[in-house]
Amino acid sequence: MTYDNVPKRPLTLLGLGDMGTALARTWLAAGHPLTVWNRTPAKAAALAAEGAVVAASPVEAVAAGDLVVLCLLDDASVGQTLEGVDLTGKDLVNLTTGTPGEGRERAAWAQARGARFTDGGIMGTPVMIGVPASGAYVFYSGSRALFDAHRSTLEVPAGARFVGEDPGHAALYDVALLSGMYGLFAGISHAFALIEGEDIAPKDLAPLLSEWLGAMGFFVDNAADRLTSRDFTTGVVSNLAMQVAGSGTLLRTAAEQGVSAELLTPYLDLMRRRLDAAPEAHSGEDTAGAITLLRR
Ligand code: FVH
């Protein structure tokens, strides 16, 4: 993500919300000729002052260049924005968050209109864009040829990780990471709720909770290894029967503290369901075995 040796190729950006504006600024700062369009034109004013060409319509914006980046609210807004726009010969990079299915359908839709298509999932927030040290990156999937042709431009705002030619996979990786994040947020929220009203400051709990969650991060690789080998019993350090028995303590503590267990019970219930399905076979398992119950 160093700007110095990057060819300054022109591009078009549709969508100037918080993320689109952050992306635009990094391309402008790196010297890329940039054409922008936004449904609400006022949001383009500041970027015009910074050197962007402001298009009056999506048709005009798309006509301005071969590489067209979309950063809109959702997949529906992508369809609405590009309705009736000639996409022949264009390279579309869609950084709008969507589902894997939406990514695949949008890729087929773009190809039917004569465009190459690569979907993207942004792993970062607007303040992390254009800041290499922030660790922000984007998952890309879909047309490898498109990605290779524009890689140096795409790497200006954030790192780029190409995850395959299935246009749904960028969204799948994105949502998998976000889903893990929300599970983590749920546990953190419950932990802080437990100490509210006690003589324990959130600031006292915070470093201990961070340290503990860091230590428990081993579960990510442990789960991956066990799901690959389908071996949920060898070398188990905290077995399922013990964890299910212990879950009663967590629930009684929540009740004693006057805290709803609504963020906790789905996972505790899943562990119990795995144990109840075959107590003898599953009591000595690692909790990763419960993952197998989730697919419908
Ligand atoms: N901001 C973030 O932290 C996250 C980080 C990870 C990736 N997401 C996704 O990025 C997409 C854009 O997010 P955003 O933060 O820029 O979102 P907003 O600030 O709400 O801007 C939305 C833009 O979409 C335009 N828009 C909405 N509906 C339509 C429509 N029907 N037709 C055309 N444009 C539409 C909106 O235009 P306007 O309201 O200014 O007229 C904004 O340009 C998003 O997928 C995140 O999930 C961000």
Q: What is the pLDDT along the chain (296 residues), one digit of tens a residue?
A: 454 565 589 999 999 999 999 999 999 999 999 999 999 999 999 999 999 999 999 999 999 999 999 999 999 999 999 999 999 999 999 999 999 999 999 999 999 999 999 999 999 999 999 999 999 999 999 999 999 999 999 999 999 999 999 999 999 999 999 999 999 999 999 999 999 999 999 999 999 999 999 999 999 999 999 999 999 999 999 999 999 999 999 999 999 999 999 999 999 999 999 999 999 999 999 999 999 999 99
Instruction: Give, for ligand 1, the residue of 19, 134, 181 to mutate: max count of ligand atoms closer than 8 Å to Cβ.
Output: 19
> Cα(282) to centroid of ligand 1, in Å?
46
**Which helix (H) or strand (E) is 161 found in, with range?**
strand 159-162
Q: Which residues line ligand 1 (CB under 6 A)?
A: 15-20, 38-40, 43, 71-74, 77, 80-81, 96-97, 122, 125-126
The answer to whether 286 touches 233, Cβ cutoff 8 Å, is yes
> Cα(140) to centroid of ligand 1, in Å?
18
Nearest Cα to 29, choosing from 10, 14, 50?
50
Closest residue CA from atom 40 of ligand 1: 40
pLDDT of residue 5: 60
Instruction: Give, for ligand 1, the residue of 70, 73, 106, 174 to mutate: max count of ligand atoms closer than 8 Å to Cβ.
Output: 73
Report how far apart, in Å, the C-alpha atoms of 287 and of each of 51, 76, 133, 164, 284 are: 55, 39, 35, 30, 9
Residues β-bridged to residue 67? 91
Closest residue CA from atom 9 of ligand 1: 97
> Cα(106) to centroid of ligand 1, in Å?
17
> Cα(86) to centroid of ligand 1, in Å?
23
What is the side-by-side order of every strand in the sheet holding 91-94? 53-54, 34-37, 11-14, 67-70, 91-94, 116-123, 137-142, 159-162
Helices 202-215/169-195 angle, 10° precision = 140
Q: What are phi and psi of 122, to 5 degrees?
A: -85, 120
Cα distance between residue 168 and residue 99, in whole Å = 7
> Cα(224) to centroid of ligand 1, in Å?
33
- What are the structure tokens assigned to 275, written together? 């144990």
Closest residue CA from atom 21 of ligand 1: 17
Instruction: Give, for ligand 1, the residue of 47, 72, 85, 127 to mutate: max count of ligand atoms closer than 8 Å to Cβ.
Output: 72
**Which helix (H) or strand (E) is 276 found in, with range?**
helix 265-277
> Cα(2) to centroid of ligand 1, in Å?
27
- Evaluate the CA torsion angle 204, 206, 241, 268 in order and state its sign: positive
Closest residue CA from atom 34 of ligand 1: 39
The answer to whether 109 touches 142, Cβ cutoff 8 Å, is no
pLDDT of residue 8: 87
> Cα(16) to centroid of ligand 1, in Å?
7
pLDDT of residue 6: 52
> Cα(72) to centroid of ligand 1, in Å?
4
pLDDT of residue 4: 59
Go through the domains of the chain in sequence order and give each one's CATH number: 11-165 (3.40.50.720), 173-294 (1.10.1040.10)
